A = this chain, B = another copy of it.
C-alpha cells in the first residue's frame, strides 16, 4: 500500500525513483478480475480503490487532491503567479473488460511522472499544474462513453444515464451512488482549465511503421457508422438459375469492393471498414435473401468525410437498384472530426525538435477524452507507439524507452505552458 503522507497543499517530493514500469504494474493491479489483463469498470470496487490510491499518490507530491461530483479526480499544484490559469493533463482511469495495462491510465501515470519531474527540477509553476484521473471514457460497463470528461464541462445530461444498467442489471445511478458519487449539480468545480494535454498509446501501428517514437496529434477523426440491410430473395442454391437470383451477399460484395477501391483512391487518413456481416438464413445451400452489414468510415476533415460517405451511400443505392434488391441505410453515428489546438501542436512539435525526439505529426483514428476538451479549451495529444498496433487486449504494449520519450515531450510541453 502507498502511505498517505497527508500533507495536502504542501510541496513534498518523494525522492525514491519510480520507473514507468513500476508505476504501470502498480496501477494495473487494481482490477475487478484476475488476469490476464486489467478490468476496471466505472464505479466498480477496483475503480474505487484505484481512484483513492491515485489520490494518495498525488498527495505524496504535495498536490491538492479532490474529487468532483461524479468521481473525476483532480490533483493540483497552485501556480505562483497565475493560479487561476490551469494547465491540465491526464486521461481516463477506467478500462475495457480484459484491457491492457496502458489504455487510459498511462496518461495519468505519465502526468504524474511529468509533474513530479517538473516540481523536482523547476519548483513551483507560475500557472497551476493539474493532473486529472477521469472517471470514465470507454463505455465498457454502461452504454455511455465520456462520462468523466463530459462532466468536467457540465455537458453530460443525467437523463441519458438514468435508465441505463450494466450487464448484471445494476443501474448506473445506483452504481454511482454506491461508489460515493452523484450527479453534478450546478456548475463544474474545476472550470479554470486553460490548456489540456493528453498522453495516450496510439492503438494503431502508424508510429511503429514509420519508426517514430512520439506522435503529435493534429486531429481526432470524425466517424460515421451505418447499419445496412439488403433485402433480396431467399432461394434454393441448386434450383435457382443465376439470372433469377436476388443474391444479397453478391450485392454486398459488389458494394464492398467498389467502396474500398474508392476509399483507397481517396487516400489516407480516410479509413473504411465493413466489420460486421450477417446473411440470412446463413446456410450453404440457400441464396441469402437478406444481408445485414456495418460500415465504419473515418476522416479528419469533416467536408471530405461528408462527401465521401454521401458518394458511398449513392453507390450502394445504385448497385442495389441495378440488382433489384431493396436497401435500408441507417446512419446511427455521425461524429464530426475534432482538430487539436494549433498553438499547442506547434509547442509540442518544437519541444520534440528541441529535445531531439523522434516525432511525427499524425491524426488519431480512435476517440479520446481530448475530443471533449478540444472544442472548449486549447488541447493537444501526445501518442506513444503501440507494439503491433494492439490495444484493448492484455497484449497491449509499448516499450519503456518509447514511453519515456512521450513523458519527456509531455513534461517539456507542460513546462513551456506553465512555467
CB distance from A51 to the nearest CB of B (A): 27
**Whole-angstrom distance between the alpha carbons of A294 and B206 in the complex?**
34
Whether A270 pairs with B296 at a CB distance below 8 angstroms is no
The segment from A5-13, A72-80, A240-248 found at the interface with B is A240-248
A278 at interface, CB cutoff 8 A: yes
Q: Which of A238, A242, A260 has the most CB of B within 10 A?
A: A238
- For residue A202, which residue of chain B has the nearest CB? B239
Chain B residues lying within 8 Å of A273, measured Cβ to Cβ, are 237, 247, 284-287
The segment from A59-67, A143-151, A251-259, A349-357 found at the interface with B is A251-259
Whether A238 pairs with B365 at a CB distance below 8 angstroms is yes
**Whole-angstrom distance between the alpha carbons of A67 and B251 in the complex?**
50
CB distance from A113 to the nearest CB of B (A): 24
Chain B residues lying within 8 Å of A296, measured Cβ to Cβ, are 237-238, 284-285
Whether B203 pairs with A236 at a CB distance below 8 angstroms is yes
Chain A, range 254-268, C-beta contacts under 8 Å to B: 254, 256-257, 260, 263-264, 268
**Complex copy number for this chain:** 2
Contact of A282 among B223, B275, B286, B364 (CB under 8 A): B275
Chain A, range 174-225, C-beta contacts under 8 Å to B: 202-206, 209, 221, 223, 225
**Whole-angstrom distance between the alpha carbons of A279 and B278 in the complex?**
9
Chain B residues lying within 8 Å of A244, measured Cβ to Cβ, are 205-206, 209, 389
**Whole-angstrom distance between the alpha carbons of A107 and B11 in the complex?**
94
Check A257/B260 contact, CB under 8 A, given A236-B203, A240-B365, A270-B242. no
CB distance from A7 to the nearest CB of B (A): 41
**Whole-angstrom distance between the alpha carbons of A389 and B289 in the complex?**
13
Chain B residues lying within 8 Å of A203, measured Cβ to Cβ, are 236, 238-239
Whether B250 pairs with A268 at a CB distance below 8 angstroms is no
A269 at interface, CB cutoff 8 A: yes
Whether A275 pairs with B271 at a CB distance below 8 angstroms is no
CB distance from A41 to the nearest CB of B (A): 18
Check A250/B274 contact, CB under 8 A, given A205-B244, A244-B205, A365-B239. yes
Chain B residues lying within 8 Å of A272, measured Cβ to Cβ, are 242
Whether A250 pairs with B254 at a CB distance below 8 angstroms is no
CB distance from A382 to the nearest CB of B (A): 15
CB distance from A213 to the nearest CB of B (A): 17
Whether A278 pairs with B282 at a CB distance below 8 angstroms is yes
- For residue A386, which residue of chain B has the nearest CB? B239
**Whole-angstrom distance between the alpha carbons of A11 and B291 in the complex?**
57
**Whole-angstrom distance between the alpha carbons of A278 and B276 in the complex?**
9
Contact of A271 among B205, B242, B250 (CB under 8 A): B242
Whether B294 pairs with A240 at a CB distance below 8 angstroms is no
Q: Which of A252, A273, A366 has the most CB of B within 10 A?
A: A273
Check A276/B282 contact, CB under 8 A, given A236-B204, A365-B240. yes
A283 at interface, CB cutoff 8 A: yes
Chain B residues lying within 8 Å of A209, measured Cβ to Cβ, are 244
Contact of A276 among B254, B283, B367 (CB under 8 A): B283
Q: Which residues of A are at the interface with B, using a C-beta cutoff of 8 A?
A: 202-206, 209, 221, 223, 225, 235-244, 247, 249-250, 252-254, 256-257, 260, 263-264, 268-279, 281-288, 291, 294-296, 298, 364-367, 389, 391-392
Chosen A-B contacts, 28 in total, with CB atoms closer than 8 Å, are A204-B235, A205-B239, A205-B240, A209-B244, A237-B273, A237-B298, A237-B365, A238-B271, A239-B389, A247-B274, A249-B256, A249-B277, A250-B256, A250-B260, A250-B274, A252-B253, A253-B253, A254-B257, A257-B257, A273-B286, A275-B279, A275-B282, A275-B285, A276-B282, A277-B277, A277-B278, A277-B279, A283-B294
